[in-house]
Structure 1
Amino acid sequence: MRRRLWRNCLRPSHQTRPPPMAVKWRGCANLWPARGDWPGWPSLSGNRGWRRNLPRPRLSCTFISDRATRRRAIMSKPHNALLACGLVMLTACAPPDTASLAPASPDAPPPGQSGFLLAPDSRVMADAAPRPSAQPGQTYALATLIDMAQRNNPETRAAWERTRQAAAAVGLVEASYLPQISAQILTGWQRAEGAGIEDGLGLLPQGNVTGDIGVTTASVSVRWLLFDFGRRDAARAGAEELSFAANVAFTGVHQLLIHNVTQAYYDLQAAQAREGIQRARLSAAHEIAAMAQARRAQELATVTEEAQAGQLVSQARFDLTRAEAETAAANVRLATLTGLSPATRIGINPGDTLALPARPPAELDRFLADTLSRRPDLQAAFARARASEANVALVEASFRPQIVASAALGHRWTSGQLSDDRVPVGLDHASDRDFGGVFVGVNIPIWDGNARAMRLEAAQADHNAALAQAEYLRSSAEGEIIAAYEALKAALAANQAAGDLVRTSRVTYDAARSMADQGLLTVREVDTALRLLYDAQIAEVEARHAIRSSAAMLAFASGQIAGG
């Protein structure tokens, strides 16, 4: 049997004694490492011991029955295709190597960097909007700067987009009340092949059968949710409350911007006033130094007094430099808020201010009750709480059934072909027909693993949290209003005291300067009077600035700020 196996493998055409089972020869080139085909291999001729010299085969000849041969012949190509598809899918499922995207250690720079200094990224400034520029030498009133900020500040545009988003959410809920119409076009083709098919009756020889079928369907369907027992109503109520909250928040953004611009405007005014005082102080220091030098030339003053006069000039110059830096910083902040370039020098009118209030509002309790209801953040917070309450009703409605009506109308085209190489004539089939239907269904939720109960509990917790947050904001707002009220009262009292201090300091300095001209006072005594005068003037500037800032803060905290 073994000798017959080798002979059949070497000579597939050998027919002396057919084996009881068919032999499938896969090619001797795959069995032995030969240089050519077996029938023409010269080393086998004239050598009786060639069997002993043959290398041991790596693969053995396979005996396959006729039925297995036919099955493998039919299924070999599909199996190979499935195997290839499986390998491709396994390759696609390989996880990506993301470890190389992060730094190797906490103290190592990110990949592609030699240190912790980033390279310039041109995409940062690629879409930067051009900023308006101020006219050189032009002075701006507070109302003009507020209008510029409302038009140019990105925060107002972002808040406006959020209001549009909330309005679109309301429209999305409204759309759920209307029917949904959709069109579908589906087409497909399928082929089935069979090789070595036998006739069960033995009337036909083996053959190949091929079948093709194609289907195309075009349809229009309508789906309408008729009743949901309050689900859409609750969703609409929640969306409307969120839209109201977005609109109120939009107003709050504008009020905050107005307040910030107003404060920056008053800060710049105060900084310019302090700078002017320091300039006057430097000029007075130069006068005192000149007086000391003149007296020194007349031998009426000592070297110490002359040095003290020079010290006054240096100190005044230092204070002026610091005041100029504060003015520049205030200018940068105001320019940034108004949407201008931070390098823009904004000119303002020092006299363009609101009249100082004579006294704070009376009856604080009534003032609180009226102003708390005007605050945008409180209105938005309680609107969000009402929206969360509507969400609770929405989850409760999910326990109820839904009634849905649907309809479909379409057309289907079908074509098919069956061919057999044993039969000269194939079979063809083609058909097309219309189809349609109208349906009404009821969806009744019965059990979902307690998921709806968990959603209801989460919605109620969210509603309670929203109410607590709103109550906290209301309490904080009361504190802000009372603090601004007390700050305004203190600023008004400080302004009155600062005015008296400036008047008395002016009298003291004038008297000291007159006595110094007569040689009755030293430079140090004159400097003390001068310092007290300018400190009083700065205190008056700070008091007036505090009044305006406190009044603006009180108007903002009470939700009543609408301009400079």
Structure 2
Amino acid sequence: MKRQVLFALSAVALVAVPEAQAQRLDVFLTRDDVSETPAARLLGGVPCPRLSDARPLELDDAILLAVCTHPQARRAWAEARAQAAALGLATAAYLPTLNATVGTQRNTLSTTYDHSTFGAGSIRRSQNTSSRYGALDFSWVLFDFGKRDAARRQARALLAAANATQDGTLQTVFFNTAQAFYTLRDAQASLDAAQRTEAIARESLAETGARHEAGAGTLADQLQARTSYRRAVLDRVSAEGNARAATGALAVAIGRDVNVPLQIVPREFDAEVADEIGDGIDQLIDEAKRRQPNLIAARAKLDAAHASVDAARVQDRPTLSLVGSLRQNDPSYKQQPQSVPMTRSRGSMIGVQLTIPLFEGFGSGYRVAQARAQVDAQAAALHDTELQVSLDVWRSYHAVQTDSANLANSRDLLDDAQRALDMARGRYKEGVGTFAELLNAQTSLADARKQRVLAVSKWQIARLKLAASLGNLRLWNANPE
């Protein structure tokens, strides 16, 4: 009994806590199960950066800015905090409840009596009633056949799912930002290749014009050179537009306005051999099944569905509670022309209450059937997610293998195309080669440069997709040095 009294006094003290402090109160420490910031689960101890607009962005800088400011990351974090609060609510059901009611009221009753038949006329009397009352009600559920336990297990499983979803969201933001960064870098590389091709075409046009004026070349060669130059100008203008579009996409990915000027650090990709993947495909699929956030969330949701079935089964079971109340009423009666002395009433109650649900319109069976159907749905969703994760790992693994091989092939292709152009240019200057040969060499070099940019881009994105399919994206340098 002393424990109940002590708890009642503590509850009264909590009522007096200011609202702002009450909002910060976390008795059950559920906030410890959620990250302190939206990006903390991915960044660990790495702080969010404050970068100057004058400094070009590295890849890590762009990723840090994205995970720290992206609205999707903040939304996932807020949903995890909401689920942590739901776990606190489910835990609070184990503690008693204490409600206080106080009030005051005043009632006035006026009555008129007609005594005209007795020659006395009308007599009016009024009665004023005032009272002050208070009540303290106490209730503590002692046993409920596992209702609270099932609700708490469900809330904890949903919190685990929310945390896994937050991890998956951070991985998605990470991947999208890195992809936008590489897309911008590829666009800039394509623009640089288009500018080089345009410069070569301009030189060829000048050379054919000089040869035609000197009588050593034909007008057809000059017209072909001019056509090649115009095509190079069109490609360069298109590359400039692609670069501007990619700049806006990256700006949005890192939480800036689309029209904000943005610069990234340029880098040449001249790796002869790509990194090898140490583990085989089977080991990678097993790793993905252990750590992929989508799979972790799907398993947690299945656990929550099982807990929901348990809660539905015991919903119509009895509940045993400890109840008590303390009530006091101080009425005051004043009647004209006489007055009534003040009286006081006080009462208390304590007991054990058993609540037995008897009938609720056959809803219990439907509630259990609904919960079991949700378990089947979550089990199917988990299996579907496992298959999708395995497929993602399979595709990404073989994409990395293929793109790694093409990375070296594209380097060889570019070197051969450059040597072919140098040879064709030399032969044309010496007069032993044709302009068609030179033009073909220029076209081959432009195509080889595009293939090189595309090969590097596909290799980078394939590595990112493989890491994302494993749930293993982190701050790393994915570029070959």
Q: Distance in 1 between matches of 2:310 and 2:72?
A: 34
**8 Å Cα contact 1:484-1:550 kept in structure 2:** yes
TM-fit CA distance, 1:203: 11
TM-fit CA distance, 1:302: 2.5
The aligned runs of 1:67-106 (5 Å cut-off) are none
Cα RMSD, aligned residues only: 2.4
In the alignment, does 2:285 pair up with 1:373? Answer: no
SS in 2 for 1:431: coil
The amino acid of 1:488's aligned partner reads: V
Q: Distance in 2 between matches of 1:511 and 1:315?
A: 23
Aligned residue for 2:35? none
The amino acid of 1:224's aligned partner reads: W
Q: Distance in 1 between matches of 2:70 and 2:329?
A: 58
Change (3 A) 1:198 1:369: farther
SS in 2 for 1:212: strand
Aligned residue for 2:187? 271
Query: For 1:509-531, what per-residue CA distance to the aligned partner results, in whole angstroms no more than 9, with x for missing partners?
Result: 11111111123334333121101
Partner residue of 1:461 out of 350, 366, 373: 373
Aligned residue for 1:545? 457
SS in 1 for 2:333: strand
**TM-score, normalised via structure 1 length:** 0.71
**TM-score, normalised via structure 2 length:** 0.83
**8 Å Cα contact 1:134-1:340 kept in structure 2:** no
Change (3 A) 1:197 1:417: farther
The amino acid of 2:139's aligned partner reads: R
Aligned residue for 2:417? 505
The amino acid of 1:149's aligned partner reads: A
Aligned residue for 2:5? none
Aligned residue for 1:558? 470
Query: For 1:33-72, what per-residue CA distance to the aligned partner results, in whole angstroms no more than 9, with x for missing partners?
Result: xxxxxxxxxxxxxxxxxxxxxxxxxxxxxxxxxxxxxxxx
Higher relative contact order (CA 8 A, sep 6+): 2
Q: Distance in 1 between matches of 2:294 and 2:270?
A: 26
TM-fit CA distance, 1:459: 1.3
TM-fit CA distance, 1:165: 0.9
TM-fit CA distance, 1:205: 6.2
Aligned residue for 2:158? 242
**8 Å Cα contact 2:269-2:456 kept in structure 1:** no
TM-fit CA distance, 1:347: 2.6
Give the stretch that moved more between structures: 343-352 or 315-324.
343-352
Query: For 1:215-241, what per-residue CA distance to the aligned partner results, in whole angstroms no more than 9, with x for missing partners?
Result: 220222221111112111111111111
**8 Å Cα contact 2:108-2:126 kept in structure 1:** yes
Q: Distance in 1 between matches of 2:269 and 2:261?
A: 19
Change (3 A) 1:354 1:498: closer
Aligned residue for 2:437? 525
**8 Å Cα contact 1:416-1:428 kept in structure 2:** yes
**8 Å Cα contact 1:378-1:470 kept in structure 2:** yes
Query: For 1:198-223, what per-residue CA distance to the aligned partner results, in whole angstroms no more than 9, with x for missing partners?
Result: 699x7976533433322220222221
Partner residue of 2:139 out of 215, 223, 239: 223
SS in 1 for 2:344: strand
**8 Å Cα contact 1:488-1:550 kept in structure 2:** yes
**8 Å Cα contact 2:284-2:393 kept in structure 1:** no
Q: Distance in 2 between matches of 1:196 and 1:522?
A: 131
In the alignment, does 2:220 pair up with 1:308? Answer: no
**8 Å Cα contact 1:132-1:341 kept in structure 2:** no
The amino acid of 2:323's aligned partner reads: S
Q: Distance in 1 between matches of 2:158 and 2:467?
A: 26
Change (3 A) 1:553 1:291: same
Give aligned pairs, total.
427
Aligned residue for 2:42? none
Change (3 A) 1:521 1:197: farther
TM-fit CA distance, 1:492: 2.0
The amino acid of 2:104's aligned partner reads: T
TM-fit CA distance, 1:463: 1.6
Aligned residue for 1:161? 78
SS in 2 for 1:140: coil
The aligned runs of 1:265-414 (5 Å cut-off) are 265-351=181-267, 357-414=274-331
The amino acid of 1:431's aligned partner reads: T
TM-fit CA distance, 1:486: 2.1
User: Where does the alignment leave 5 or more consecutive residues of structure 2 unmatched?
Assistant: 1-48, 477-481
Q: Distance in 2 between matches of 1:314 and 1:187?
A: 92
Q: Distance in 1 between matches of 2:72 and 2:115?
A: 79
**8 Å Cα contact 1:134-1:344 kept in structure 2:** no
Q: Distance in 2 between matches of 1:344 and 1:525?
A: 45
Q: Distance in 2 between matches of 1:386 and 1:357?
A: 42
SS in 2 for 1:430: coil
Change (3 A) 1:333 1:133: farther
In the alignment, does 2:412 pair up with 1:496? Answer: no
TM-fit CA distance, 1:269: 1.7
Aligned residue for 1:259? 175
